[in-house]
Amino acid sequence: MKKLLFLTTILMITISAFAQDSTGTRKSSKQEKRQERRQKINTMIRQDEEGVMAYHKQNIFGIQLRSLGYGLLYEIGRTKTTRKTTTYSVELSEIKSQKEEKLPTGGFFIGNRYIYGKINNFYQFKLGIGQQYILGEKGNKNGVSVSAVYGGGLSLGFLRPYYLQVQDASGNQVTIKYSQQDSALFTGNSILAGGGLGKGWGELKLRPGAYGKAGLRFDYGRFNEMVSAIEVGVSVDAYLKKIPIMLFQKEKQLFFQGYIALEFGRRK
């Protein structure tokens, strides 16, 4: 009986000590996590005040104005070092001819304005990979950081036939695209108006190619977790076949452009 009582006492003391040790360990673990969070917050505040762009990933949406058209950009960035970020991007844009000029509708006909001599709209869907390299930090949270951006990838070009409303030899109003048979109607005095944005989407023709670009990104965002930037640069698009956009103009396979983009996004 004494032995049993002794063993029971020892067991209770051991359980109590283990419970106290476990509770102490949990409390210590919680305190360490709180300290880590506190240090992380303090570091972020200090970096924000110093203008340091510290983040793990970023998502950017941009609107581009190009020398030969316009475009939209969506970019995902993943940091590799404190200065270098790998970027993955999707772009949708349109290339226009420098000779395009919208003309009013013919006579008293009410309709869409048209572009004389245009035979195709040309769109690009681009998938790319690149890098952003920080050249200069902000200096303070009201400053501007400067980064070099460069990359390239696949460019899928799509030709959409351009339609016109014309008056044929019988006096009927018809909607046509360019062809050898209808070339006289397409370029003559019988043009009434443009065919409209809804025409030609079921007749897209694929033109595969590649692109490359390089530029500078100026981030003027006040807070580190937000992206507010202007990007300026140059790009080149190269396609396997020549791209017919306008009649009476030389068809090209290479398109060199300058661009400026307004960009917004978030960092984490």
Residue 51 CA to residue 45 CA, distance in Å, equals: 10
Mean pLDDT across the stretch 81-89?
A: 92
Among 80-84, 91-95, 135-139, 162-166, which stretch is predicted with the lowest mean pLDDT? 135-139
**Could you give the 3-state DSSP secondary structure of residue 27?**
helix
Give the per-residue pLDDT at 82. Answer: 83
Residue 153 CA to residue 171 CA, distance in Å, equals: 50
Q: Label residue 51 by pLDDT band (50, 70, 90).
A: very low
Residue 94 CA to residue 197 CA, distance in Å, equals: 14
Architecture of the domain whose range is 55-267? Beta Barrel (2.40)
Give the per-residue pLDDT at 50. Answer: 46
What's the chain's average pLDDT? 84
Q: Between 9 and 258, name the one with better pLDDT.
A: 258
Among 46-50, 67-71, 201-205, 225-229, which stretch is predicted with the lowest mean pLDDT? 46-50
Query: What's the pTM?
Result: 0.77
Give the per-residue pLDDT at 129. Answer: 97
Q: Between 224 and 139, name the one with better pLDDT.
A: 224
Mean pLDDT across the stretch 179-205?
A: 88
Question: Residue 31, Cβ neighbours under 10 Å: how many?
Answer: 10
Q: Which two tokens stand for residue 268?
A: 């984490």
Mean pLDDT across the stretch 208-233?
A: 90
Residue 12 has pLDDT above 70, yes or no: no
> Shortest CA distance to 137 belongs to which of 50, 18, 202?
50
Mean pLDDT across the stretch 85-114?
A: 86
